[in-house]
Amino acid sequence: MVQLRQFLIILGVSFVGEVLHALIPLPIPASVYGLVLMFLALCSGAVKLRQVHGAATFLIGIMPILFVPPLVGLVDAWGLIRPILLPTVGIIAASTALVMAVTGLTAQGILHLTRNREELSREEEEGEQNV
């Protein structure tokens, strides 16, 4: 019963994302609206992590199974995909490398800023103790 309630919360947030997708004329997928809404709900405390943790863990656990139907659809459409396969793979590889590089550089920048702030606060504390 608890997991059903948790799943219904996730489903409700996803439904609101679908509604926003239908109402807002932007080329943003409904799933992105749902993810942003869930993030905001968790950050604001409107939804507590314990209210969705079990169902979310289950859904993440079965995620590979959820990719089977789209892959079967790709196999069915092989005749259409074949002529553009090489450019598509190239674009996917390049964009994946770019996302990994930007993510790594962003993480390094954040770590650098955090360390600098910690060093400054330590220096300030030491200066106050010496006075």
pLDDT tens-digit map of 82-128: 999 999 999 999 999 999 999 999 999 999 999 988 888 888 877 77
Ramachandran quadrant class, 28 (left: phi over 0; alpha: psi -120 to 50; beta: rest): beta
Scan for tokens 């942003």, then name that residue.
Answer: 36
Burial 78-98 (b: 16+ CB within 10 A, else e): eeeeeeeeeeeeeeeeeeeee
pLDDT tens-digit map of 27-84: 999 999 999 999 999 999 999 999 999 999 999 999 999 889 888 888 888 899 899 9
Cα distances from 74 to residues 26, 65, 71, 85, in angstroms, run 27, 15, 5, 11
Q: How many CA within 13 A on the CB side of residue 87?
A: 4
pLDDT for position 131 = 63
- The rounded distance, in Å, linking the Cα atoms of 42 and 17 is 15
**Is residue 69 within 8 Å of residue 49, measured between CB atoms?**
no
pLDDT for position 38 = 96
Amino acid sitting at position 62: I
